[in-house]
Chain A
Amino acid sequence: MAARKGSASGAKAGANVSADELKSYYRDMLLIRRFEEKAGQLYGMGLIGGFCHLYIGQEAVVVGLEAAAKEGDKRVTSYRDHGHMLACGMDPKGVMAELTGREGGYSKGKGGSMHMFSKEKHFYGGHGIVGAQVPIGAGLAFSDKYKGNDNVTFAYFGDGAANQGQVAETYNMAQLWDLPVVFVIENNQYAMGTSVQRATKSPDFYERGVAYGIQGEEVDGMDVLAVKAAGEKAVAHCRAGKGPYILEIKTYRYRGHSMSDPAKYRTREEVQKIREERDAIEHVRQLLLTGKHASEDELKDIDKEIKGIVNEAADFAKESPEPALEELWTDIYTDVAPQNA
């Protein structure tokens, strides 16, 4: 048992990856980015309400881990959930229509940006309470283990959420019961306006499992291949019945915490520097071009395809009708009628 600094899996850029795989990661990451940009626009137009937390900058995390997943594996995450849903194959139209609160949305307009589920794609939310999804992830893993299949659950949470008490409780149980759950800490360095350094003196989250006997490692979240390699290792550990695994994935969010962020807690230069020097999508783009795996024209075609998908999602999200008002009273319980309809 150990906690490892640095990308132990150390996937060298381009090594052991086919051109098609690289292209598909590029495509999947681009889909998330363009989708989120569009969501930001729709928010600006007043079509999306409440808080809306964009995933821009963190795309390589979910795309890399989804590349390590197999059919039946589960995932659960926080309110910053759009990327996870797109990466696991949920329909961009249904996600966008939930953002606009329409009938065609995954939760029929009842949940909004933070609350969506798809049992079909094994996506168990979208959770608004910081840390809540972590024990839920353990429970999903418990169910798989009990049923005797070899599926794993990815429980995603932030650097801020890592300081919630229920995370510690869950680590202990998950290891005690050898649950097949990968705890994925998306360390984007901030929890709202609070940097990691201001929230803990133990900033190496991958080490936090040591006390419970859980193996962990730190991963470069701006390198989709490194994420995939680390994910494969973690998943193999879980599938082999060895219990949980922790991946601390170092990433960065480019946008505000939500759409109403005064952005006073970090400098523009800090954001700009990471965008310019570390962008995960640009990284894969360069791999594709320098490795001659794809031509500029091919990449342009991908861009175009993505643009089409995103526009179609946005159109659907605008045109899908508002939910019928009677829907207000359904789904509160699975059976009984509400008390004061």
Chain B
Amino acid sequence: MLDQPTNERRLTIARAMAEAMQQEMQRDPTVFLMGEDIGGFGGIFGNTRGLFEEFGKERVRDTPISETGFISAAVGAAMDGMRPVVELMFVDFFGVCFDAIYNQMAKNTYFSGGNASVPMVLMTSTGGGYSDAGQHSQCLYGTFAHLPGMKVVSPSNAYDAKGLMTAAVRDDNPVIYMFHKGLQGMGWLSTEPGATVNTPESDYSVEIGKAKVVREGRDVTLVGLAMGVHNALKAADRLAEEGVSAEVVDLVSLVPLDRETVINSVAKTGRLIVVDEDYHSYGVSGEIIATVTEHDISKLKASPARVTYPDVPIPYARHMEQLCLPNPDKIIAAYRKM
């Protein structure tokens, strides 16, 4: 279960990320940050706030708008034993710098026969819902998870956000850390309140590669990550009113993918709905369903379903975008069809 929110120390994901980086920077002098407006500005999503003041411009380094350059530079520094945490402001901008990411960052460990590992974190914002159109609203989870050589995580709440960041910085592999804008807790962007949860002050890790059953149930398994988890939890609440018991699995990590937790859950419930804000085809939703059906299709009492973003560039007009986004209604409708 998610940590019960108490009033003690509820942090937004933005603050939780910043706290993890702060503690890792205090602990390990090889950790440094790079990105656009992550310094005095504190990151446009608030996740580096306060770090420039504490660590200075050498370790909290504002970059020019040169993504290919600074991400590949981080690869170089990482191969020499540094631990860069780099921000790609919006995941949509990966198009400018994907060579740095998937040909360099993701492959150098392998191509060096393990000689030159690349211990770095690439954090990047995902998600839409606020009318920012198709170059600033995508999730692209599947795009990154598809490519071998880098771990991929995405927290749904502040507790996991902090623990995953700590684990990512300490990991000797490149880790793509995807944070959803709608969970971030920024004043200027509406935020899902369920993401702001009790977060311990001490440093701790959340294991990369381990999914979490965040709500137990018997009748159907709802699998999601990031914002998808909150949509699933809301749907589960409403299904419960009708006497349907839904189990919710938060994937937390896409690479490695905890297939076992998903398989075990579906073995129990017999029904599977995947909630994914990424495009419908060739993505996470297909992978989860394949995982379950390849393992033991006889466990399924109904065809699996997915609630995803249609294969459409994300439109600007609010009502069009809202029509496309996954939501609890669509999850419930998918269940009813089963």
Cα-based distance from A51 to B134 in the complex (angstroms): 12
Residues on A with C-beta less than 8 A from B189 are 260
Distance (Å) between the CB of B31 and the closest chain A CB? 22
Number of interface residues of A (CB under 8 A): 47
Q: Are A194 and B317 in contact (CB under 8 A)?
A: no
Q: Are A339 and B64 in contact (CB under 8 A)?
A: no
Q: Are A164 and B318 in contact (CB under 8 A)?
A: no
Interface of A: prevailing SS: loop
Which of B40, B64, B68, B311 has the most CB atoms of chain A within a 10 A radius of its CB?
Answer: B64
Q: Are B133 and A111 in contact (CB under 8 A)?
A: yes
Distance (Å) between the CB of A158 and the closest chain B CB? 9
Residues on B with C-beta less than 8 A from A130 are 65, 93
Residues on B with C-beta less than 8 A from A102 are 317
Q: Are A115 and B133 in contact (CB under 8 A)?
A: yes
A173 within 8 A of B: no
A95 within 8 A of B: no
Q: Closest chain B residue to A196 by CB distance?
A: B64
Query: Known: A193-B37, A340-B280. Is A322-B317 also a contact (CB below 8 A)?
Result: yes
Q: Are A164 and B324 in contact (CB under 8 A)?
A: no
Cα-based distance from A132 to B64 in the complex (angstroms): 15
Residues on A with C-beta less than 8 A from B95 are 129
B209 within 8 A of A: no
Q: Which of B281, B315, B319 contacts A110 (CB 8 A)?
A: B315
Cα-based distance from A263 to B95 in the complex (angstroms): 29
- 4 additional A-B residue pairs with CB within 8 Å, beyond A110-B317, A163-B65, A265-B40: A51-B132, A107-B316, A264-B41, A339-B311
Cα-based distance from A101 to B317 in the complex (angstroms): 4
Residues on B with C-beta less than 8 A from A327 are 320
Fill in one digit per residue for A79-120: 1 if any B CB lies within 8 Å of its CB, else 0. Answer: 000000000000000000010011000010111111100000
Residues on B with C-beta less than 8 A from A271 are none
Query: Known: A109-B320, A110-B320, A322-B319. Is A264-B312 also a contact (CB below 8 A)?
Result: no
Interface of B: prevailing SS: loop
A338 within 8 A of B: yes
Q: Can you list 25 A-B contacts with CB-CB less than 8 angstroms, sorted by A residue number?
A: A49-B316, A50-B132, A101-B317, A109-B315, A110-B133, A110-B315, A112-B131, A114-B135, A115-B133, A129-B93, A130-B93, A160-B64, A160-B65, A163-B64, A163-B65, A166-B96, A193-B41, A194-B37, A198-B62, A322-B319, A325-B320, A327-B320, A328-B312, A329-B312, A332-B312
Residues on B with C-beta less than 8 A from A115 are 133-135, 316
Q: Are A328 and B320 in contact (CB under 8 A)?
A: yes
Q: Which of A109, A129, A164, A260 contacts B316 (CB 8 A)?
A: A109
A165 within 8 A of B: yes
Fill in one digit per residue for B50-69: 1 if any A CB lies within 8 Å of its CB, else 0. Answer: 00000000000010111011
Q: Closest chain A residue to B44 by CB distance?
A: A192
| Residues in B112-155 with C-beta less than 8 Å from chain A | 130-136
Cα-based distance from A332 to B188 in the complex (angstroms): 31
A131 within 8 A of B: yes
Cα-based distance from A262 to B44 in the complex (angstroms): 9
A161 within 8 A of B: yes
A341 within 8 A of B: yes
Q: Closest chain A residue to B308 by CB distance?
A: A340
Cα-based distance from A323 to B321 in the complex (angstroms): 11
B76 within 8 A of A: no
Fill in one digit per residue for A212-246: 1 if any B CB lies within 8 Å of its CB, else 0. Answer: 00000000000000000000000000000000000
Which of A128, A132, A327 has the most CB atoms of chain B within a 10 A radius of its CB?
Answer: A128
Q: Closest chain B residue to A100 by CB distance?
A: B317
A199 within 8 A of B: yes
Cα-based distance from A328 to B322 in the complex (angstroms): 11
Cα-based distance from A129 to B133 in the complex (angstroms): 12
A191 within 8 A of B: yes
| Residues in B60-93 with C-beta less than 8 Å from chain A | 62, 64-66, 68-69, 92-93
Residues on B with C-beta less than 8 A from A200 are 64
Cα-based distance from A98 to B92 in the complex (angstroms): 22
Distance (Å) between the CB of A193 and the closest chain B CB? 4
Q: Closest chain A residue to B188 by CB distance?
A: A260
Q: Closest chain B residue to A191 by CB distance?
A: B65
